[in-house]
Amino acid sequence: MIGVLFTGGTISMRIDPATGAAVPALGATEILAQVPQLGSVAEFETEDFSRMPGPHVTPEQMWRLARRAAAWLERPDIDGLVITHGTDTIEETAFLLDLVLTSDKPVVLVGAMRTVSDPSWDGPANLLGAARVAASPAARGLGVLVVMDDLILPAREVRKVHTESSNAFASPEFGPLGVIDAGTVIFRRSPPTRHAWQDTRADQGLRVERLETRVGLLQVYTGMAADVVNAHLAGDTQGLAIIAFGRGNIPPAVVPPLAGAIARGVMVTVSSRCLSGRVSARYGYDGGGLGLARAGALLVGELSGAKARLLQMVALGGTTTRVAAAELVQALTR
Catalytic annotation, residues? 10
Q: Tell me, what DSSP letter sits at residue 39?
A: G
* H or E element, residue 147: strand 144-148
Hey, which bits of 176-330 come out as E strands? 178-181, 184-187, 215-219, 239-244, 267-272, 298-299
Nearest Cα to Cα of residue 176 among 154, 143, 196, 148 = 154
**Rounded CA separation 91/89 (Å):** 6
CA-CA-CA-CA torsion sign (25, 68, 190, 197)? positive
Cβ–Cβ under 8 Å, residues 218 and 239 = no
Strand partners, 145: 108, 154
**Rounded CA separation 172/89 (Å):** 17
Burial category of 306 from C-beta neighbours within 10 Å (exposed 0-12, middle 13-18, buried 19 and up): middle
